[in-house]
Chain A
C-alpha cells in the first residue's frame, strides 16, 4: 500500500474547512443501486442489543475501580464575581476528604484557550471554583459545602436581548455583540424595495438543554506515567488532545476509552474540566478518580442550544420569492464560538437575492455547545415560518411556493451542482402521506368544537457528507471471525451495527462473525461522532479495510488451495472456487495462526460538487383553543440521505429526532432568574423533555437513492436531519389551525392563549389590540 497526501474541502456543522489528510491505497467505486447486497440495506438488529438490554453494557458511569476517589465541584453561586480567597480547611478536616483544588493551588492546565481550570473571575452561576476529592461522593459533596470563599460580586447580564443594548453591562472589552457570519447574493435591499409583497417578522427561540441521560464525566487512573481516562464522550481523540494540552504529556502515555455512552447530542465533544480535574487528582493522590456531573451541574455547565432573536424580511414579486434578509443574534453565554442560524437561509432555497448577518452575543451564562443541528433548528424555525407567512399573504399554497425554489440542482450558495438532491421527491412523498390536499388556507374544525386542526410543513437542509481523515482496521482471525477496530464511538446511533454490516458485506462473512471495537485511542483515528458525519466518514474506510482483508485472504487462499485468485471469491464465511465451498477457518487453519489485517482510509469528497442531505417534515396538529394546548397528531418525516445502510436503526434515528424536535417546539425552555442570573429549572423536574405520552403517530420515509458520487457507500449522514424541520412544520401547522402565528419557541399554552387573546381583541377592539401588541 502507498500513502498519499490529499487536500479536501469538508463541511462540519455548516462550516466549510480545508483539510489535509493521508490516505492509503486506492478507493473503491460506490455500490450502485443495481448491486445486490446481502447485508447492507437490510433491517439488521443491533449487534450490541444483548449488552444493552441486560444491563451488561458498561457505561463510564458504571465504572467503579478499586480504591477509587470521587470528585465534586464547588460552583459559583454568582453569575459574575472575582474569587478573592478560598479557605478549604474545614472541608479538608472532614473524614474521607483527600484533596482540594482551586485557583490558588491547582497546577496550570490549559483549557479552551485559558491557562487554568479555576478562573479568578467566574463568569456564570455554575462556573467551577474548587474541587474536592474524597473516599465517597457523599463525603465530597459534604466537604464542598464547607469551603469558604470570598467573592467580589461583579455586574452581570443574563439575558440575550438585554445584553444587546448599548447601555448593557459590558462583559467583554469589545462589547457583548460581535458579528459571527455574513453572506450576500444578489442585492437583497434593492430587491425587497421592488418586491410586490413584503413580510417582516421577528422570531425567538429558547435555550434548549441537552439532558443526555448520562451526565458528562470521566474516570482517570495512572499507572506510573501512563494515564488512562474513561470518558462519556463523542470523541475519544478529542479528549486525548484536550488532556495533552492540559497536562503536557505525550500521546504515548494517554489512552482514552469510551465503550458505551449514554447520549451526547453534540455536547460531549472533548475533554471537560471534569476530565482534567480527575486526571490531576489521580496523579496527586495516586488513586483512580471519578468525576461525574450531577443533573443540575449538567444543566449549568455542560452546554446548551443558544437562544436566538431573529428578524426576517422576505419579499415576493408576483407569486415567487424575490428576496430575503435574515438577521440573527444568538446567546452564546460564555462560549467562544456560536452556531449560525442563517445557514438554511443561505443555502436551502433558490432565492435570487439574499442578505444574512449573524451575531454572537455573550451573556453571564454557561457556554453553548453543539446541540443536534446547531443553528439549523433555530434558523429553520424562523425561515420556514417566514415562507409560510409570505405564502399566506400572496395567496399561494406554501408547499407550492417552496417547490418553485427547491427544484434547481445547483447549490445557490456555491453555484456547484449537487451530487444528488431529491428534495422534490421528499415533498411528493410527504404531501401524500400526510394528506396535504386536506389543508385549507383557514385550517379546519378538529375532533371537537373547541379544537382546530391545521397542517404545516418545512424543509431540511444539512451537510452530512462526512470527511477525512478516518481509518479502520479489520483483523480476520484464523477461524474466519473478524474484529473491526476503529476510533469512532457509538453514541446510540447504531454505529457498531452499521459498521459490522459493512465489514460483513465487503469481507463476505456473517454479521454474527464480526466483532466491533470502538472508542479507543489505541486504534487509528476517527472523527468526532457529531455533525451527521460518522457513517459517511468512517463507513467508507471500514469498507476499504474489509476489501483489503478480503484481497489478502484470497491471495492466501489461492496459495493454499492452489487456485488462481481470480477464480476465488468469499461468500458467507467460505472461500468459493468452482462451486466448491471451503470455510475460511478451514483454509486459514492450514497455516499456523495467521491474522489477516486489512486497512482502510477515508478518501476525499469529490471536487466541484455540493454534497448535502435534504428532507421535509409534515405535521397535522389540533389546538385546543380553550387551553392553548397543541396536540400533534401525525408527523411525516421524509429524508434524502443517499443509501440507507440499516432501515431499522435509521427509522429509530428519525423518530428520535422528531421527538427531540417536539420538545424544542412545544415544551423545552431553560428559565433564568434575571435578578440573580441563576438557572431555575436545571433538572428533569422543572425542565420538561418529551415523555412517551407526547409522541404522535410518526411516519418515516426515506428516498433511499444511493448518492454514488458522494463516497464508496453512497450514504450520507442522518443524525441531525430529523430534528431540523420539525419545529417549523409544527409552528406552521399551529398557525394554519388557529389563524394566528406563534413566533416564539416553545409554543407553550401560555403563548397560544396570549396570541388567541390578541387575535380576538384585533377582531373586536383594534385600538386595544394595538396597545397590547
Chain B
C-alpha cells in the first residue's frame, strides 16, 4: 500500500514525484488521475486513455517498478514515488522490448502498444527468463483490438532471451 501522501487539501496541491528519472512537481486536485496528469500536465501522451476504468491496460505505467493502470491511480498517491512511462524507456537507443516489438510486428494501430510494452518491461525486470505462461499472465490485462497478441507474446519471449544472452 502507498504511504499516506504528504499533502493537505482541499483543492489543488503540489505533488512531488519522479517521472522517467526527473524530479517533477505538479499542481493537481486530489481526484486527478496519474494518467491525466501525465498526458495533460506533463505532455507524456504515450500512455493512452481508452476505457478510463481499469479494463484495458492501455494506460499502463510503472510505479516504483510495478505495472499499474494509471487511470485508476491518483496523482497524489504518487507523491515521493517513481513513475516510468514508455517515453522513459529509450533514452539510450531502444529498449530490448521495444526492439522486439518492431522485429516481431507486435502492433498494428499501435494504440495499446505503450501499455503492452510497459507490462512486458515490468515482467522482464522481475523475471529474467519468463515462460510463455508468464507472458500471458503479464499482458492478460492489456487489450488489443487489432489482435496483435501472438506477436506480442513472441516479442516478449524474444526480448527476454536477448537480454539473457547479454
Complex Cα distance, B151 from A656, in Å, reads 10
Considering the complex, give the chain B residue whose CB is closest to the CB of A698: B150
Provide the B102-120 mask, 1 if CB < 8 A to any CB of A, else 0.
1101011111111001000
Instruction: Check A656/B53 contact, CB under 8 A, given A55-B86, A55-B87, A692-B152.
Output: no
Cβ A61 vs Cβ B147 within 8 A? no
Report A69 CB to chain B, min CB distance, Å.
13
Residues facing B in A684-735 (CB within 8 A) are: 684-685, 689-693, 695, 698
Cβ A53 vs Cβ B113 within 8 A? yes
In which size bucket is the chain A interface?
A: 35 or more
Cβ B55 vs Cβ A213 within 8 A? no
Q: Give the one of A53, A265, A649 with max B CB within 10 A.
A: A53
Cβ B108 vs Cβ A213 within 8 A? no
Cβ A213 vs Cβ B105 within 8 A? no
In the assembled complex, B143 has its CB within 8 A of some CB on chain A: yes
Complex Cα distance, B115 from A73, in Å, reads 28
Which chain B residues lie closer than 8 Å to A683 at the CB level?
A: 51, 53, 55
In the assembled complex, A435 has its CB within 8 A of some CB on chain B: no
In the assembled complex, B148 has its CB within 8 A of some CB on chain A: yes
Number of A-B contacts (CB under 8 A): 158
Report B55 CB to chain A, min CB distance, Å.
4
Complex Cα distance, B87 from A491, in Å, reads 22
In the assembled complex, B45 has its CB within 8 A of some CB on chain A: yes
Q: Give the one of B43, B98, B99 with max A CB within 10 A.
A: B98
In the assembled complex, A523 has its CB within 8 A of some CB on chain B: no
Which chain A residues lie closer than 8 Å to B26 at the CB level?
A: none
Cβ A652 vs Cβ B143 within 8 A? no
Cβ B111 vs Cβ A59 within 8 A? yes
Complex Cα distance, B112 from A770, in Å, reads 49
Provide the A644-671 mask, 1 if CB < 8 A to any CB of B, else 0.
0000110111011111100000000000
Cβ B109 vs Cβ A492 within 8 A? yes
Cβ B45 vs Cβ A62 within 8 A? yes
Considering the complex, give the chain B residue whose CB is closest to the CB of A652: B105
Which chain B residues lie closer than 8 Å to A512 at the CB level?
A: none
In the assembled complex, A552 has its CB within 8 A of some CB on chain B: no
Which chain B residues lie closer than 8 Å to A294 at the CB level?
A: 52
Cβ B149 vs Cβ A695 within 8 A? yes
In the assembled complex, B56 has its CB within 8 A of some CB on chain A: yes
Q: A213's contact among B50, B136, B140, by CB below 8 Å, is which? A: B50
Cβ A64 vs Cβ B111 within 8 A? no
Q: B150's contact among A213, A653, A655, A685, by CB below 8 Å, is which? A: A655
Provide the A54-68 mask, 1 if CB < 8 A to any CB of B, else 0.
111111011010000
Q: B102's contact among A50, A56, A651, A655, by CB below 8 Å, is which? A: A50
Residues facing B in A257-283 (CB within 8 A) are: 260-263, 265
Cβ A53 vs Cβ B107 within 8 A? yes
Report A727 CB to chain B, min CB distance, Å.
14
Complex Cα distance, B144 from A61, in Å, reads 17
Q: A54's contact among B53, B89, B142, B148, by CB below 8 Å, is which? A: B89
Cβ B105 vs Cβ A263 within 8 A? no
In the assembled complex, B92 has its CB within 8 A of some CB on chain A: no
| Chain B positions near chain A (C-beta within 8 angstroms) | 39-40, 43-53, 55-56, 58, 85-87, 89-90, 94, 98-99, 101-103, 105, 107-114, 117, 136, 139-140, 142-153
